[in-house]
Amino acid sequence: MIGEISPGLVIIVGALLIPFLPGKARNVWGVLLPILAFAQFMTLEAGSDGLIDVMGLELTTIRVDGLSRIFGIIFMIATLISAIYQFHVGGWLQHTAGMIYAGSAIGAVFAGDLITLFLFWEGTAIASVFLIWASQTQRAYSAGMRYLVMQVGSGVLLLAGTLVHYGQTGSIAFESFDIETTAGLLIFVAFGIKAAFPFLHNWLQDAYPEATVTGTVMLSAFTTKLAIYSLARGYAGTEILVPIGATMTAFPIFYAVIENDLRRVLAYSLNNQLGFMIVGVGIGTDLAISGAAAHAFCHILYKALLFMSVGAVLFRTGTAKGSELGGLYRTMPWTAVFCAIGAASISAFPLFSGFVSKSLIISAALKEGYFWTWMVLLFASAGVFHHSGIKIPFFAFFAHDSGMRPKEAPTNMLIAMAIAAFLCIAIGVYPAPLYAILPFDVTYHAYTVEHVVTQLQLLVFSALAFTVLMRTGLYPPELRSTNLDTDWFWRGLGRSVVRRLGSVSGRGWGALAANGSKACWRFIEGVYRRAGPEGILARTRPTGAMAIWMTLILTAFLLIAYL
């Protein structure tokens, strides 16, 4: 019976107890939940389990294979690190919402059918929005509402695709789909929204920076990586994903370079890294899919580390604006070191985790003949070093002396950052354990002379370009500004269209109401003329005339009945 329980449900059920626990017990319980979930995961065997019959549909709540295993493991590690990082947070709301969010993501990874996937999919949307609203600002509330619309909309499309797919095939199995079918296209767009495809991506940069310090760390780990898993499960080898992913790796670089809010820089950087994974899924070979899974694994760790370090700065100083920070290495040295480790990892420095995961995808692209995609990936690799590898630590800790002398981050934050930093280095130095849990058996050696030299050249010239631009004053300065992105269509043009439609519909309703009112009055007046005190129907008639009329009516009814 124990083997039939999803590890995600262990966390969700445990999260429901959090509001009833006192402060310290609540924190300890939050740390224990992912450990209990992992213990439950270790009891599961490869294959499908947890079968439930609902109205004639067989739900598969647990499916363990190579793809679900690696994502399930990293999701549980991320849950543990996040629970430690938010140890100091008072109240029960963020702890409960965060754990339900994490448990839903884990449950979705192990789901073997579309109905189970949909339930957990919507669980991630509803629970995660409270991590944004917990900031208790008007900006957070507005961003959370926009976030919720996008996430719930993704779930609606997933449900619609599921119903169409079931109607066409009689199956709800979560397997590979054909994008050329109606069901396949609906599900593809649902996954694409959560993966932050181009033109559908701004919910990420809009909402994540408005979440709480600890909430942003959890948000960075689950939502988009659940979408990557789903695409790898349902659309591996779908050709259109290659240009989509390549576009995602490139365009966020330009926004991240000019962005002042460092958490928003990291949100654009997240979009950039998702592009690498989507390219891997689109290529679809064993090496490429394994590369996408490996990069998702590493990305969760180093992106969480970067968000944690910037979050610690925000927690201590009250701002994450690059124009207001600088010189913090003096009083926050450990945070600065951990930030530098995260920056080295995302930049794919040798001996750091990004080096051994990103190279799988780039090698797969070159091997399969995607030359121009390979060139874009190299450009994107250099770009991410600019905006995350250099910009984040430089402007937060070293650029200039802001005069701030905040305390070092709380102990629990430092412990969480230390765990993530250790894993980033350990995987980079010795990637064999990571390669051992990849979805497919692939023989790959990251530390070849060619690969190391190529990557170092890329990083050195990128650093040189940054230095020259800074020295010459050509690098975009950190300014208080609002950068327009494709969300202008949703917020500006979309709002204008809604207002215009509202105005037109208002005038139309007014005209309809006026005409309807006139028609009603004409009807009432007509009735009054006929049935009022002076109307034709109210006049006195002789008794004989009434008898004749009744006879005629009765005769008519008899004729009708007879015929």
Return the minimum-mean-pLDDT range out of 133-137, 229-233, 407-411, 501-505.
501-505
| Residues 70/293, Cβ–Cβ less than 8 Å | yes
Token pair of 513 as six digits = 């109401």
pLDDT above 80 (res 520): no
Per the listing, tokens 């992912």 go with 34
Q: Would residue 519 count as lying in a domain? A: no
| Residue 444 burial (C-beta neighbours within 10 Å; 0-12, 13-18, 19+) | middle
Q: Would residue 477 count as lying in a domain? A: yes
Domain count for the chain, please give it.
Answer: 2
75 and 111 assigned to the same domain = yes
Domain boundary among 184, 207, 235: 235
Cα–Cα distance measured from residue 417 to residue 145, given in angstroms and rounded to the nearest whole number: 30
223 and 112 assigned to the same domain = yes
User: Tens digits of per-residue pLDDT, 398-449?
Assistant: 877 878 889 999 999 999 999 999 999 999 999 999 999 999 988 888 898 8
456 and 437 assigned to the same domain = yes
Q: Would residue 361 count as lying in a domain? A: yes
378 and 462 assigned to the same domain = yes
219 and 173 assigned to the same domain = yes
Q: Would residue 196 count as lying in a domain? A: yes
231 and 362 assigned to the same domain = no
244 and 174 assigned to the same domain = no
Domain boundary among 481, 504, 521: 481
pLDDT of residue 1: 47
107 and 150 assigned to the same domain = yes
Q: Would residue 78 count as lying in a domain? A: yes
User: Tens digits of per-residue pLDDT, 479-508?
Assistant: 566 666 666 666 666 667 667 776 776 677
The predicted model gives 241-270 an average pLDDT of 90
Domain boundary among 420, 446, 481: 481
53 and 183 assigned to the same domain = yes
User: Tens digits of per-residue pLDDT, 540-554?
Assistant: 555 566 666 667 777
Q: Would residue 563 count as lying in a domain? A: no
pLDDT above 90 (res 331): yes
| Residues 174/234, Cβ–Cβ less than 8 Å | yes
Q: Would residue 547 count as lying in a domain? A: no
Question: Which backbone phi and psi does 48 adopt, to 5 degrees?
Answer: -105, 145
The residues with which 54 forms a beta bridge, in sequence order, are 57
14 and 82 assigned to the same domain = yes
The residues with which 58 forms a beta bridge, in sequence order, are 53
The alpha carbon of residue 146 and the mean position of all alpha carbons in its chain are separated, in whole angstroms, by 13
Q: Would residue 64 count as lying in a domain? A: yes
221 and 242 assigned to the same domain = no
207 and 270 assigned to the same domain = no
Residue 496 one-letter amino acid = S
Q: What is the extent of the structural domain holding 220?
A: 1-235
Taking CA atoms, 530 is separated from 114, 238, 324, 537, 545, in Å, by 64, 73, 82, 6, 19
The predicted model gives 56-85 an average pLDDT of 93
